[in-house]
A = this chain, B = another copy of it.
Amino acid sequence: MEVKMRVGIVGATGYVGMELVRILSVHPGFYLTQLVSRSHAGQRISDIYPNFSRVVDLELQTLDIDRLAADCDLVITALPHGVSSEIVPQLLDRGLRVIDHSGDFRYRDAAVYEGAYKLKHPRPDLLSEAVYGLPELYRRDIAQARLVANPGCYPTCSLLALLPLLKNNLIRLDSVIIDAVSGVSGAGRKADTAYSFCETVEGFRVYGVVGHRHTSEIEQECGLLAGLGRPLAVTFTPHLAPMKRGMLATVYADLLPGQDPARLQEVYQAAYAQEWFVRLLSPGQLPDTRLVTGTNFADLSVHYDKHTGKVKVLCAIDNLGKGAAAQAVQAMNLMAGLPENEGLTAVGMAI
């Protein structure tokens, strides 16, 4: 008998946790049984986010591994790095399947993690088991996984842009530049004047110009896509735009001599023909983050600048959607044997 999986969320009151609850509250394939929040235990999710009132009024719980083990089949952790790596192993030990949102299980090589996050990894043994949760790359492994490491938002956006180029060996590998922009929710739920309304609206800024943590995650997966035995170095720059949600990556690379730029659209078409969540735009259309808000879609366009020989790929996602919570639900659908877009077909609210 097929039954719905029971799902718990640990870290339910951050923005990613909130988005997971929002999506799962209308998902026909899962039951939300446990919402865990250290800082708000005893309150209801609708006390923190009153838009949930009447629809989801679940009480927030303290973290209790036994209770999670009893009430859930799968747990999604939306916790800071360093915290996930402490808690996730306990969940796995109780037989739970886990989707983790932190950087803690995204790396193949503990040394790379430790370089990027300045933390010693407590369970490097789990890194080989963990599956990098980008369904467009690792669909089959995700379906079987015990531990899925949900990708970062910038890596998701960048990798979807680069995948056809790298898999088809079309570009000079040392030429990749990713210039990306995020909405403010990417910074999480913070009391900080740097993200206050008055000091954010009507401004566009740059941050993490050199050495942003997501760089190493992008590099690991690009290296694998390119079939290298090592990460592929890329240049990455994140920016902050005055909007709640949305992410756009503008990716630059040199087309290899002899490659036909006229075939780029076709290459992308082929790469994504079977991917429901990747919308390759027609020539003449261009991505706008507004058009993917609240969804799991990635809107892509590919261009060739004959003037300089550069390929430009543009990819727009919702940083909380395909960049976090909705992508986790896509992975959960795979893990549960459900249609991959179950519960993820609502039209986004663009106006």
Contact = CB atoms under 8 A, between A and B. Distances in A.
Interface residues of A, number: 91
11 contacts: A25-B347, A53-B297, A55-B346, A181-B181, A181-B204, A183-B204, A184-B197, A197-B242, A201-B201, A202-B246, A206-B288
Given A50-B285, A276-B54, A345-B55, A185 B198 contact: yes
Q: Which 9 A-B pairs have the closest CB atoms?
A: A203-B290, A205-B288, A51-B350, A179-B179, A197-B200, A51-B291, A191-B191, A22-B347, A235-B308
Contacts of A346: 22, 25-26, 55, 346
A245 B312 CA distance: 26
Contact of A196 (B195, B237, B305): B195
A286 B204 contact: no
Contacts of A314: 206, 209
Interface of A: 15, 18-19, 21-22, 25-26, 49-56, 174, 177, 179, 181, 183-185, 189-193, 195-207, 209-211, 215, 233-235, 237, 239, 241-246, 248, 250, 252, 276, 279, 285-295, 297, 299, 301, 303-305, 307-308, 310, 312, 314, 316, 320, 345-351
B250 A287 contact: no
Contacts of A292: 51
Nearest to A243: B202
| A-side interface mostly | loop
The copy count of this chain in the complex is 4
